[in-house]
Structure 1
Amino acid sequence: MLSELDFSIIPASIPFLWAGFLFSLKITVTAMVGGIILGTLLAMARLSGGPWLAAAATAYINTMRSIPLLMVIMGFFIIIPTLIGHPIGSENSALITFTVFQAAYYGEIMRAGIQSVSTGQVNASFALGMTYWQAMGHIILPQAVRNMLPLLLTQTIVLFQDTSLVYAIGAKDLFRVATNIANTEHAPVEMYLFVALIYFVICFSLSLLVKRMQKRIAIVR
């Protein structure tokens, strides 16, 4: 059966697939950076000791982690334009959705990282007269990021894979472009096999990088 497949459409499709890949990468990088920043603030809020602040951060994280990503994508795509009174486009909606959704997962990773820092260093920073937020910024967070870097990258790999779900709102990511080409050229098997190979190579390579990083961090400890 494989001998009957025609991969001649692949070379001509590369420019379009590249454009789709760049958008998938844009979502990944934007959501990773924004998600880690917002997630770190959520983690700090949960551990701050302030009851209202901790409750709000916990509610946000639990809500986002309890709703399927596809429903969140569709919800933001429909709800945000309704609230502001005009459409924001599928691409902007995808960027916003992935950032706020991934923040919940990055937040839990950062919370574990913060809690992995020894209490002795935390108490020492307070003994030096630092406030909670100063201790976080200068002492705790740098170590938490280093400790959790493999997990942060692993979550980013999952994030890259999940970008294919923006297909549901018409955003032209790698998977959406591949689907359009497959339908136009009547070659779904060839196109999906090629795109699957792209996802595999990227994600597998990053997974190997994470494993090497885990070993290096373990040696440093």
Structure 2
Amino acid sequence: MDIDFSRIVPSIPFILEGIGLTVSFALVSAILGLILGTILAVFKISKVSFLKWFADIYTSIFRGTPLILQLVLIYFAVPQLFHYDIDKFVAGVLAFGLNSGAYISEIIRAGIQAVDKGQQEAAEALGISYRPMMLDIILPQAVKNILPALLNEFITLTKESAIVSTIGLLDIMRRAQVVGSNTFRYFEPLLIAGLVYWIIVTILTFLGGRLERRLRRSE
């Protein structure tokens, strides 16, 4: 087997420089997805038919089409339609955030509906309006129930962020590809990229587990 890591050792720091961009990209996308997903989840349980219809159609579109298609549409179609050269990072965040929002909305909706209906009935009996009831009573309880699913979505988002390499964003994956094209050795840099992703996901899993246990102790 023709494996020689010594030839790419000088390029390892270049690959590792992509960690910051990958993590920041996943974090910003997750925040956008969480905000959007919360709004869509509230729409889905709303008594307003138009809001429910909008949220369901949105979720159907973004869950029913490939993420890479959404990414290239945003990155390549925006300049064509609006004559505006969108930044690679912004295009990636928009694609991942909009896509993640569709999945998170279903997670949050299920979490909200899992909260005992007596909580909402008690709040209404006390004269608490809908918005503070959702923000202060229902959502905090729902978050505790859906935290593992949300953490899993963030981990998935971190791994899938490698797709942004297709539009040239210099994340971990793209840097590994650059090293491969420069050295004509692809196995070694891609293996290192895979190891870096695995370490990041392992750390996130550990931190998520600690956060989940802490929330359980606070109940």
**Pairwise same-fold verdict (TM > 0.5):** yes
Percent same amino acid at aligned positions? 34
Corresponding residue of 2:20: 22
TM-score by length of 1: 0.91
What does residue range 82-161 of structure 1 map to in structure 2 within 5 Å?
A: 82-161=80-159
Aligned 8 A contact 2:29 2:96 in 1: yes
Aligned 8 A contact 1:27 1:98 in 2: no
Superposition deviation, residue 174 in structure 1: 0.8
Corresponding residue of 1:182: 180
Aligned 8 A contact 1:35 1:100 in 2: yes
3-state secondary structure, aligned to 1:203: helix
Q: Judging changes above 3 Å, is the alpha-carbon distance between structure 1 residues 126 and 82 closer, same or farther for their aligned structure 2 residues?
A: farther
Structure 2 alignment gaps of length 5 or more:
none
3-state secondary structure, aligned to 1:129: coil
3-state secondary structure, aligned to 1:45: helix
Superposition deviation, residue 189 in structure 1: 1.1
Aligned 8 A contact 2:8 2:179 in 1: no
Aligned 8 A contact 2:8 2:183 in 1: no
3-state secondary structure, aligned to 2:202: helix
Q: Deviations over 1:173-211 (max 9, x none)?
A: 110011001110122111111111111222234335545
Structure 1 alignment gaps of length 5 or more:
none
Aligned 8 A contact 1:73 1:94 in 2: yes
Q: How far apart are the structure 2 equivalents of 1:10 and 1:207?
A: 29
Q: How far apart are the structure 1 equivalents of 2:154 and 2:204?
A: 9
Q: How far apart are the structure 1 equivalents of 2:80 and 2:17?
A: 29
The number of equivalent residue pairs is 219
Q: Judging changes above 3 Å, is the alpha-carbon distance between structure 1 residues 130 and 83 closer, same or farther for their aligned structure 2 residues?
A: farther
